Copies of this chain bind each other. A is one copy, B any other.
């Protein structure tokens, strides 16, 4: 394993320490519960927003804490939902009289932890709602499955509810907006390589030099199918088609397009992918109104990318354009 790491067991806490040291004015790190929160949270005049899930998806979600986005993020260990207790303590720390909205990607472990925490916090008299995000089109949604996964599309939910909460919307309204954004957001991802969790020390799976995994999530697990590596144009077409056909997005729709890197793919390639996806969508008459290219929700060092579309209306466009201030500043 070739990583910047000391004891792999301390990978997550040492990362969070670095994050807090780099943002001394705006963030607070609470080691007991492995949590990052805004230094000024909770604020009585806004709904508090919390997102959790395993670590290894950075910048999601710990680097999305700040004005206009999350009030706190409580990440678990790499790819593991946080313990219930940590979520519960996080909720207590940011509890606002206007309530707390918990955002959770739809995975069994995360949902269990957040729902149990919600119950515990409500018993303490805190008003809490939980919204599950499930934008991944590669997973079939049926009563025999656990439903779609939440992947990179969670960024748009966080951004929209963050803006709404900042403007003073009440809990019901913030929840409505989050649910609406989630309902018009779809993602599909693929991996060129496997990733290596620090504690495991070796890649999660073996992928020959001429093969890829299509339909991956964000936990380094294999995808729906293994396929041959092909020119970017063809692979992007497969991603775009899966996403477009799912909602479906149709000619005349105005959308936000995100090309999200999974951690090991350089930004030059992501812009190349963006250009291909943009043109393929334009061919279908879909109008791209907002563009997002970079890393938003990763799988450690996995090379690969996902494509997300959000169908925009005036309300969503306005919320996405609102200012925010999170650790991911460039300058």
Residues of A bordering B, CB below 8 Å: 1-7, 11, 14-19, 21-23, 55-56, 58-59, 63, 159, 192-193, 209, 212, 229, 231-233, 235-236, 263-276, 278-279, 288, 291-295, 298, 300-301, 303, 305, 320, 324, 326-331
Contacts and interface: CB of A to CB of B under 8 A. Distances in A.
B22 A272 contact: no
Number of copies: 2
A331 B256 CA distance: 11
19 contacts: A4-B232, A4-B235, A4-B272, A4-B273, A5-B269, A6-B233, A14-B232, A16-B271, A18-B274, A21-B279, A21-B288, A22-B275, A55-B268, A59-B330, A264-B266, A266-B298, A268-B300, A293-B327, A320-B331
A11 B274 contact: no
A4 B159 contact: no
Contacts of A320: 331
A181 to B, nearest CB: 13
Contacts of A209: 1-2
A263 B263 contact: no
A166 to B, nearest CB: 13
Given A274-B21, A331-B159, A4 B56 contact: no
A294 B232 contact: no
B269 A4 contact: yes
Nearest to A55: B268
Between A231, A288, A320, A330, the greatest number of chain B beta carbons within 10 A of the residue's beta carbon is seen for A330
A interface majority secondary structure: mixed
B63 A267 contact: yes
A295 B303 CA distance: 16
Contact of A58 (B19, B271, B295): B271
A268 B58 contact: yes
Contacts of A21: 274-275, 278-279, 288, 291
A21 to B, nearest CB: 5
